[in-house]
Structure 1
Amino acid sequence: MSDKFIMRPEHELMHRPDGSINFNESVYTNGFDATSPVGGWMRLGNRANEGYAELSVCLYLPDGRIACQFQRPTIGSNDGFAAGGLSYTVNEPLRSVSMTYSGDLIIVENPDDLRDPGALFAKGPRLPGLVSWEHIAKSPVHGGEPVDDTVQTMYGRDFSLGHFNQHSRVKGEIRVGEESWTIDGHGWRDHSWGPRYWQAIYFYRLFIANFANGDGLMLLKITDKAGHVRRTGVLLVNGQYEEILDLEVSTDWTDKQDPSFVRLGVLTANRKARIDGEILRLAPLRNRRKTDDGILVSRIAEGFTRFRWGEQVGYGMTEYIERIEDGKLAGFPL
């Protein structure tokens, strides 16, 4: 644990919202089976001062379909994570958490349909769904609460004041309609709190992965509107985190300006690593925020990715977020 952050068991629990209208406390988990290409991610973000939660469930099924749900259920407080059929439980602080969703899932045959979510959510086919998994820690906790105002947080102090994450062993189940799949593999989770607008991020590239031998990665390259670039993250090797010293990202793009393949060069104090990621299925999502100046829109591309690190093959997520300005992606083609 870095001496720049404080991390105590009570940080696993809920935090009192401050006076900012956009205070957000959120939890995120992902999980992928070790032997078959099935898994996904879930997120619940409480915006108690605005009276709603952000609910996201996105599952990547073996036949290429995406099963998902996105809602803004009403909440009246920040007393816990439970809204719209999605719940999160701390079983043992810093060691074990569970997340469960029970409710309808929208079945997406063609991921391009997510580019017009209004039509998809209104007319898309739905099936009853259940996702339930437990995360058991396979790494230390990374991050926490900054020791003072000079410490930069992972995504930036205008996005979350407190943030921690952890690689995990994951066991559970996914059910969609009459079909079901066992999840017995690996995953990653995070927990953050503080003021947040998605549009505070100008653009970033985030990579999360687990490998069969227990190693993993969490890598972030983030750029502000002035062009200042920050690289942060860790490699997980033999159960311990190695903070990165440098990160290079090269992206192959589709004709729709979606990432399709990434080449990562990573430097820590102990090693240099070349890691490649093939994006198997992409969910092209977006977020809108009404402001005094109009509507701000961000593209959030969520890619189920197969990573290769030497002889090791693992699965995880590639996430590209960027503002859309005058119809153009802020970070493309970087």
Structure 2
Amino acid sequence: MDKFILRPEDELMHQPDASKNFNESVYTNGFDDKTGVGGWMRLGNRVNEGYAELSVCLYLPDGRIACQFQRPSITSNDKFDAGGLSYKVIEPFKRISMTYEGELIIVEDPDALRDPQPLFANGRRLPGHVSWTHEASSPMHGGEPTSDDVVTMYGRDFSLGHFNQHGRVRGRIKVGNEEWTIDGHGWRDHSWGPRYWQVIYFYRLFIGNFTNGDGFMLLKIADRQGYSRRVGVLLVDGQYEEITDLDVMTDWTTARDPARVRLGVRTARRKAVIEGEILKLAPLRNRRKADDQTLVSRIAEGHTRYTWDGREGYGMTEYIERIEGGQLAGYPL
């Protein structure tokens, strides 16, 4: 029996359950094949809490980051459209689009994102526009688990339903009077179910694309007891190969940020060594109050240039972990 089921209607909205923290979200990224310019956008509907999580993060050629993070109010889960960010399914499993129209905060020094209140209050802002279309270059991957004993990608208490896909991306980014064309590749996902970021003890996620259409999505995720899972796929000649093993080696900066990664990957058909250089890191965080505590997670979003068998491509490195007693849960692993 298949472990997951995925239906065309899963591209659309799902009925929220009674969980306070029900979240339905879409994420897309896209990078130009030649210049590497691009970024990512995410909209997560938390309708039972009355707001959406809006995130736009763009990596510009001169090293600046243009971003926006908001919690616009929503009253229903009937669409992805809040705060100027919208997502549309053009053809299920084959073509989607995502668009943002609104202000962008210009970040000259990414360290300002570590404690962002002054930046959000006083940072320079410019009008922005981002729009791109994803056309499938891979099968769909994931879905809803078919039984209670199926282990999902992030764990059963974090986005129970989840699917993702690599794609061909075309679009444009405009920040103030500057504009860039995106003609390249990217990745997208769609998830639904209860979600708190702090459920993740720590994980390392790697997403990459190459000009010939190959790519990968690789995840190492660990729990508080020290048990870790390694899941993901290599995309080769338009088909996904599930990984059977993954080794992750990270070079760190003095600020405990990932700077370079070396990935050893095995599938039933091949072995691969993939190296990544993090070109620009957005050191983000998420906070949540629970009883009399404030739980904090580091969410490090790295624009990354990858090398695989002599080919160069672009994508993302994402390191998420709890911060407890001032310590990063996963560092230096």
Per-residue deviation, 1:37: 2.4
The one-letter amino acid of 1:198's match is W
Q: Which residue of 2 aligns with 1:40?
A: 39
SS at match of 2:66: strand
- 1:56-75 aligned within 5 A: 56-75=55-74
In 2, distance between residues paired with 1:139 and 1:281? 27
Q: How far apart, CA to CA, are the structure 2 residues paired with 1:190 and 1:219?
A: 14
Structure 1 position 213, deviation (Å): 1.0
SS at match of 1:112: helix
Residue 177 of structure 2 corresponds to residue 189 of structure 1: no
Secondary structure of 2:49's match? Answer: coil
Distance in structure 2 (CA, Å) of the matches to 1:37 and 1:200:
32
Q: Counterparts of 1:290 and 1:85 in 2: how far apart (Å)?
A: 27
Q: How far 1:116 sits from its partner (Å)?
A: 1.6
CA distance in 2, matches of 1:310, 1:139: 20
Alignment RMSD, CA only? 0.7
Kindly provide the amino acid, as one letter, of the partner of residue 261 in structure 2.
V
Aligned residue type for 2:195:
R
Deviation per CA, 1:196-218, whole angstroms, max 9, x where unpaired? 00000000000000001110000
Deviation at 1:312, TM superposition (A): 1.0
Distance, in Å, in 2 between the alignment partners of 1:22 and 1:303 is: 27
Quote the Cα distance in structure 2 between the aligned partners of 1:76 and 1:177. 32
Shift of 1:293: 3.8
Question: What is the SS of the residue equivalent to 2:113?
Answer: helix
Structure 2 distance, partners of 1:292, 1:160, is: 23
Question: What's the counterpart of residue 95 of structure 2?
Answer: 96
1:224 is matched with 223
Give the corresponding residue for 2:287. Answer: 288
Identity of paired residues, percent? 76
Structure 2: how far apart are the matches of 1:270 and 1:37? 30
Q: What's the CA shift string for 1:54-82, capped at 9, x where partnerless?
A: 00000000010000000000000100000
1:236-294 Cα shifts (integer Å, max 9, x gaps)? 00000000000000000000000000000000000000000000000000000011141
Corresponding position of 2:321: 322
Q: Given the two structures, how large is their TM-score scaled by the length of structure 1?
A: 0.99
Q: Residues of 2 paired with 1:180 and 1:78: CA distance?
A: 33
Moved more, 40-49 or 147-156: 147-156
State the AA in 1 paired with 2:161: G
- Residue 219 of structure 1 aligns with an amino acid whose one-letter code is L
Distance 2:64 2:255 in 1: 19
Q: Distance in 1 between matches of 2:176 and 2:325?
A: 41
User: Which runs of structure 2 are paired with 1:1-334 in the superposition (5 Å)?
Assistant: 3-334=2-333
Deviations 1:160-194 (A, max 9, x none): 11000000000000000000000000000000000
Q: Matches of 1:284 and 1:245 in 2, distance apart?
A: 30
SS at structure 2 position matched to 1:255? coil
Which amino acid is 1:131 matched to? V
2:241 maps to amino acid? E
AA of the residue aligned to 1:178: N
Tell me the SS of whatever aligns to 2:10: helix
Q: How many residues are matched?
A: 333
Give TM-score scaled by structure 2 length: 0.99
**Partners in 1 of 2:284 and 2:70 — Cα distance?**
13
- Offset of 1:227 from its aligned partner? 0.8
Where 1:257 maps in the other structure, the secondary structure is coil
Mapped to 2, the partners of 1:37 and 1:272 lie a distance apart of: 26
Q: Give structure 1 regions of 4+ aligned residues with deviation exceeding 6 angstroms.
A: none
- Quote how far apart the aligned CAs of 1:307 are: 0.3
Could you tell me which runs of 5 or more consecutive residues in structure 2 were left unpaired when the two chains were aligned.
none
* Secondary structure, aligned partner of 1:318: strand
- Please give the secondary structure, in 2, of the residue aligned with 1:49: helix
The Cα offsets for residues 125-163 of structure 1, whole Å up to 9 and x where unpaired, read as: 000000000000000000001111111111111111100
CA separation in 2, counterparts of 1:78 and 1:67? 28
Secondary structure at the counterpart of residue 129 of structure 1: strand
Structure 1 residue runs of 5 or longer lacking an equivalent are none
1:6 and 1:50 map into 2 onto residues whose CA distance is: 28
| Partners of 2:102 and 2:251 in 1: CA distance | 36
Q: d(CA) in 2 for partners of 1:309 and 1:37?
A: 16
* Matched AA of 1:211: F
